[in-house]
């Protein structure tokens, strides 16, 4: 049995009472064994003085291999970005995807993200990167109509093969993904759902991201995307949907009634000028599970959840003319326990509690921008002051993956060089 002791920090537990306690966290065999004052030692220990220990951040929607496309489609709306993304995607080899994914994993681990939900094709390459980095990946193989895809073979068959091969792994959980109503027919949605039900895995899709998407879909079917997905029987508790920006209150209630979860991507929505703002307060009121997400490094352009927590809070305050909307505690929830709920893994992840998997982040508070700190402002600092670069250590499943800001087990310089080389050759 291996053990790890995080000694002497401020523990932001994110438990039901949202307790913050001063003390230690003991990890045994990948799970949290004790929280508070721990007597005795452990095989390995980390000094957490002047630091906050919190649950590993969970990114509820991204396309991690798109790190290679970073900075390739700035200052354009979604439709133009997708054109560029699909054209660039067509040039990538499996090896490129793996390098891009590994680069994304390094970036996430260093900025405190321990889990992410990814939507892409060639998720088997992303899975390889996830295992190499020792992160937790919820990986959705994208299904779309055959005429739109750059995948070889039939997308739903590719997804089936991926899901079957990657089930019951420790760090990789396969899902069935869909690009969105603009490239997926009713038959494609039905086939994806049948596959997910047959294999008992989750579903993930983009949904109602832009006004154009909603308008075009209404023109084609007479229904808004959420109404249409409800009519074809696609909505259900197995599904999490990214964006849901352009949704009416009736659609919010329909999503809630069907148990659909939402991945909120405020930075991506702002950068692509999606225009609307996802109605989070109404989603909370309706009881929807919502997780925070960065979306693609092409539309963000980073994977730093600390930056996105702050942006998320500011976006809703600014547009609602209400400074009390989305308080810091709620925003931190969106990146931890609520994101775990949105992915359906809150029994194991999302808080620092005995029995849960040990996905933990240690954030250094001995910094100019986090001084002064005391119990009453720790949560505020995490959301409004901290940056990914403040992460001192990251632990996934009880294994230390980042310490003193350095990634362990991966040659970071080598990953950066390879990514630089591939991208320069393709796009430089």
Beta bridge partners of 53: 11, 362
Beta strand pairing status for 261-264 and 360-364? Answer: unpaired
For Zn ion, the closer CB: 213 or 295: 295
User: What sections of 299-374 are H helices per DSSP?
Assistant: 305-320, 328-335, 337-343
Structure-token match 């509690």, residue found: 353
| DSSP 8-class letter at 381 | I
Binding site for Zn ion (CB under 5 A): 295
User: DSSP readout, 105-174?
Assistant: HHHHHHTTEEEEEEEES-HHHHHHHHHHHT-EEEEEEEE--GGG--SSS-HHHHHHHHHHHHTT-SSEEE
Structure-token match 């796009």, residue found: 427
Give the separation between CA 209 and CA 78, rounded to whole angstroms.
9
Q: Residue 192 in contact with residue 176, Cβ under 8 Å? A: yes
Structure tokens at 26: 């003991």
Cis ω for the linkage preceding 250 (within 30 of 0): no
Order of strands across the sheet with 239-243? 57-62, 113-120, 136-143, 172-178, 203-207, 239-243, 261-264, 290-292
Output the smallest distance, CB 287 to Zn ion, in A.
24
| Closest C-alpha among 216, 227, 183 to residue 86 | 183
Residues with Cβ within 8 Å of residue 230, at least 6 apart in sequence: 254, 258
393 phi, psi to nearest 5 deg: -150, 150
For Zn ion, the closer CB: 267 or 410: 267
Give the separation between CA 74 and CA 399, rounded to whole angstroms.
37
Output the smallest distance, CB 256 to Zn ion, in A.
22
Q: Residue 240 in contact with residue 264, Cβ under 8 Å? A: no
For Zn ion, the closer CB: 96 or 295: 295
Residues with Cβ within 8 Å of residue 251, at least 6 apart in sequence: 208, 224, 226, 227, 244
Q: Which residue is nearest to Zn ion (CB)?
A: 295
Output the smallest distance, CB 267 to Zn ion, in A.
12
Output the smallest distance, CB 296 to Zn ion, in A.
5
């Amino acid at each position: 049995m291996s053990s790890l002791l995080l000694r002497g920090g401020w523990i932001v537990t994110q438990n039901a009472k949202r307790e913050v306690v001063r003390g230690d966290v003991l990890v045994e065999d990948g799970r949290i064994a004790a929280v508070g004052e721990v007597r005795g030692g452990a095989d390995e220990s980390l000094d957490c003085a002047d630091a906050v220990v919190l649950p590993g951040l969970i990114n509820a929607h991204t396309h991690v291999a798109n790190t290679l496309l970073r900075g390739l489609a700035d200052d354009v709306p979604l439709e133009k970005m997708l054109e560029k993304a699909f054209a660039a995607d067509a040039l990538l080899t499996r090896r490129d995807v793996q390098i891009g994914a590994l680069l994304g994993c390094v970036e996430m681990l260093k900025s405190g993200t321990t889990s992410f939900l990814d939507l892409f094709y060639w998720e088997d390459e992303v899975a390889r990167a996830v295992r190499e980095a020792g992160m937790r990946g919820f990986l959705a193989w994208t299904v779309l109509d055959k005429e739109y895809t750059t995948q070889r073979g039939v997308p739903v068959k590719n997804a089936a093969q991926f899901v079957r091969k990657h089930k019951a792994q420790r760090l990789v959980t396969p899902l069935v993904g869909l690009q969105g109503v603009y490239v997926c027919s009713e038959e494609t949605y039905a086939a994806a759902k049948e596959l997910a039900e047959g294999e008992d895995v989750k579903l993930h899709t983009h949904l109602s991201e832009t006004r154009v998407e909603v308008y075009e879909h209404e023109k084609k079917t007479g229904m808004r995307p959420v109404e249409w997905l409800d009519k074809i029987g696609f909505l259900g508790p197995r599904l999490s949907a990214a964006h849901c920006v352009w949704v009416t209150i009736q659609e919010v209630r329909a999503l809630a009634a069907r148990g659909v979860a939402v991945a909120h991507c405020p930075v991506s929505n702002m950068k692509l000028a999606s225009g609307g703002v996802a109605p989070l307060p109404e989603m909370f009121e309706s009881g929807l599970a919502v997780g925070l997400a960065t979306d693609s490094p092409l539309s963000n352009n980073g994977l730093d959840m600390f930056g996105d927590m702050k942006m998320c809070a500011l976006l809703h305050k600014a547009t609602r003319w209400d400074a009390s909307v989305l308080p810091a505690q709620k925003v931190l929830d969106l990146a931890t326990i609520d994101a775990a709920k949105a992915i359906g893994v809150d029994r194991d992840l999302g808080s620092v509690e005995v029995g849960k998997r040990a996905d933990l982040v240690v954030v250094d508070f001995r910094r100019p921008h986090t001084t002064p700190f005391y119990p009453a402002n720790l949560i505020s600092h995490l959301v409004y002051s901290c940056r990914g670069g403040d992460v001192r250590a990251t632990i996934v499943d009880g294994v230390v993956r980042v310490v003193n800001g350095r990634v362990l087990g991966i040659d970071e310089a080598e990953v950066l060089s390879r990514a630089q080389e591939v991208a320069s050759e393709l796009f430089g």
